[in-house]
């Protein structure tokens, strides 16, 4: 009986922990966490890495951009800060400076 109870407690703790974990441990003020598909748009040398979501297309920038570049067509969740700057791509919903991501 004690083993069953202990197993149930461990299972409960794992379930709760997994539900609470996101790619952003604590989003900063003005932070965003959004999922979508990674794509590259534009012609060389004017290509842009974007995240296509239900809310529109977001230009991706930041230190993690190089890692995301190899993940074209993958569905990912990115975390970062959102800027309304869309000067480099007029149809973009904004620019996300990526601080973290998960596949």
User: All domains of the chain, ordered by start, with CATH?
Assistant: 24-102 (2.40.50.140)
Enter the pTM of the model. Answer: 0.72
Mean pLDDT for 87-92 is 77
Residues whose CB is less than 8 angstroms from the CB of residue 54 and which lie 6 or more positions away in sequence, other chains included? 36
Q: For the chain, give the mean pLDDT.
A: 79
Query: Is 93 a residue whose pLDDT tops 70?
Result: yes
- Under the banding of pLDDT at 50, 70 and 90, the label for residue 7 is very low
9: pLDDT strictly greater than 70: no
Spell out the alpha helix ranges (H) of 1-103.
Answer: 2-20, 65-69
């Amino acid at each position: 009986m004690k083993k069953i109870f202990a197993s149930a407690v461990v299972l409960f703790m794992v379930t709760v922990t997994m539900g609470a974990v996101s790619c952003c441990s604590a989003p900063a003020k003005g932070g965003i966490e959004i999922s979508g598909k990674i794509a590259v748009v534009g012609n060389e040398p004017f290509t842009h890495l974007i995240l296509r979501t239900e809310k529109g297309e977001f230009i991706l920038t930041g230190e993690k951009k190089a890692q995301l570049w190899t993940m074209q067509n993958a569905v990912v969740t990115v975390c970062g800060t959102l800027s309304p700057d869309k000067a480099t791509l007029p149809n973009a919903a904004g620019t996300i400076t990526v601080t973290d991501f998960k596949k």
